[in-house]
């Protein structure tokens, strides 16, 4: 996890460093649609990881307490919907930038 956070920090720092460049004739990779696509890719990857962890935790909970399977399943589905909503927000923002 520490490597991921360091990589994310360095990537963010590099993004700001390249964004400070002077005007150029071509579009930068960190403008408009390119940045929107990158944000969508990062959000989708994070969503996949979060949904995977949620399903694993729900399966472990059901395995430990089968009587609570209905409550765990309902809570998991609501959580998965909220996690997926974050990616949909990024998708809407990406379409707004284009």
- pLDDT tens-digit series, residues 44-86: 899 999 999 999 999 999 999 999 999 999 999 999 999 999 8
- pLDDT tens-digit series, residues 20-44: 555 555 665 556 667 777 888 888 8
Residue 91 lies inside a defined structural domain of this protein? yes
What's the CATH number where 84 sits?
1.20.20.10
What range does the domain containing 52 cover? 29-97
Residue with tokens 């996949």: 48
Q: How far apart are CA 66 and CA 37, in angstroms?
A: 42
- pLDDT tens-digit series, residues 84-97: 998 898 888 878 87
Residue 54 lies inside a defined structural domain of this protein? yes
């Amino acid at each position: 996890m520490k490597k991921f956070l360091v990589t994310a920090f360095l990537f963010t720092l590099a993004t700001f460093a390249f964004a400070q460049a002077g005007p150029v004739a071509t579009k930068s990779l960190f403008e408009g649609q390119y940045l929107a696509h990158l944000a969508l890719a990062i959000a989708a990857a994070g969503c996949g990881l979060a949904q995977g962890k949620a399903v694993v935790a729900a399966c472990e909970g059901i395995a430990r307490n089968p009587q609570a399977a209905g409550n765990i399943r309902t809570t998991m589905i609501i959580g998965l919907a909220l996690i997926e909503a974050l990616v949909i927000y990024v998708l809407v923002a990406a379409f707004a930038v284009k």
